[in-house]
C-alpha cells in the first residue's frame, strides 16, 4: 500500500500511463505522485507540525491569505516543546486562521517583543469556526493591543485545553490566554 509509505497519486491519463515509451510512462507517474507523509489537512490525515520551520511556514501562508478554512493541523507525536522565539503570530488583522490546530500537548516557547504591533500571541487572530487546542505557551509576549500568550484576537472560534505560563504586556485587550 503506497499510502502507508507516504505516497499517493492523482489520477493519470491512460494515454500516458500506458504509453509504449518508458520515459513518457515514468514521467506521467512522477507528475501525479504526491507526498502525504506530512498530511493532507483532513481530520484523519492532518498536516503535521514538527518544528519551528513548520510553524513559521504556517504563519507565512496565513499572512499571505491562505486562511486554511476547514483544514486540520496537528503537532507530531512525541514532541514536547517547540521554541519559537520572536515569532510572527499565525493570523493578523487582515487574514485570520480559520482551520483546526491541535497542539497535541506541546509547549510553545515565545519571546515576542513587538510593543507597537497589535494581535500578538502564538495566534494573532482566528475566525469563522477555527479551533485551537491542546497546548501551552511559555516565555513572554509584548505587544500593543489584543495581546495574549495563545491568541491576540478571538473574532469567532474555539479555544480549548490550553494554558499560559508566559508573561504578557500590552495596552488594551490584554489577557493570559486571549487578548
Q: What is the pLDDT of residue 40?
A: 85
So what's the pLDDT on residue 174? Answer: 97
Q: Which of 133, 121, 122 is nearest to 162 (CA)?
A: 133
DSSP letters, 11-67, are ---HHHHT-SSHHHHHHHHHHHEEE-TT--SSSSSPEEE-SHHHHHHHHHHHHTT--
pLDDT at 39: 81
> What is the per-residue pLDDT across 53-82, written as a single tens digit (0 to 9) for each?
999 999 999 999 999 999 999 999 999 999
**What residues contact residue 5 under an 8 Å CB cut-off, 6+ apart?**
none
One pLDDT digit (tens) per residue for the chain, 179 residues: 444 455 555 565 666 667 788 887 777 666 665 555 678 899 999 999 999 999 999 999 999 999 999 999 999 999 999 999 999 999 999 999 999 999 999 999 999 999 999 999 999 999 988 999 999 999 999 999 999 999 999 989 999 999 999 999 999 999 999 99
Cell 512525541 belongs to: 78
Residues 6+ apart with CB under 8 A from 85: 52, 109, 110, 111
**Planar angle of CA 169, 178, 71, nearest 5 degrees:** 130
Please count the CA atoms within 13 angstroms of the CA of 8 that sit on its side-chain side: 9
Amino acid at each position: 500500500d503506497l499510502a502507508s509509505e507516504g505516497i499517493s497519486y492523482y489520477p493519470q491519463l491512460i494515454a500516458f500511463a500506458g504509453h509504449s515509451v518508458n520515459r513518457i510512462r515514468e514521467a506521467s507517474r512522477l507528475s501525479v505522485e504526491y507526498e502525504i507523509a506530512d498530511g493532507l489537512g483532513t481530520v484523519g490525515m492532518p498536516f503535521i507540525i514538527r518544528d519551528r520551520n513548520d510553524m513559521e511556514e504556517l504563519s507565512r501562508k496565513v499572512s499571505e491569505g491562505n486562511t486554511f478554512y476547514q483544514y486540520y493541523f496537528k503537532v507530531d507525536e512525541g514532541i514536547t516543546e517547540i521554541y519559537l522565539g520572536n515569532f510572527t503570530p499565525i493570523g493578523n488583522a487582515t487574514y485570520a486562521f480559520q482551520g483546526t490546530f491541535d497542539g497535541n500537548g506541546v509547549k510553545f516557547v515565545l519571546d515576542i517583543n513587538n510593543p507597537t504591533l497589535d494581535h500578538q500571541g502564538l495566534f494573532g487572530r482566528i475566525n469563522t469556526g477555527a479551533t485551537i487546542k491542546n497546548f501551552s505557551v511559555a516565555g513572554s509576549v509584548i505587544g500593543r493591543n489584543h495581546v495574549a500568550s495563545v491568541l491576540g484576537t478571538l473574532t469567532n472560534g474555539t479555544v480549548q485545553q490550553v494554558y499560559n505560563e508566559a508573561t504578557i504586556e500590552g495596552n488594551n485587550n490584554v489577557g493570559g490566554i486571549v487578548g
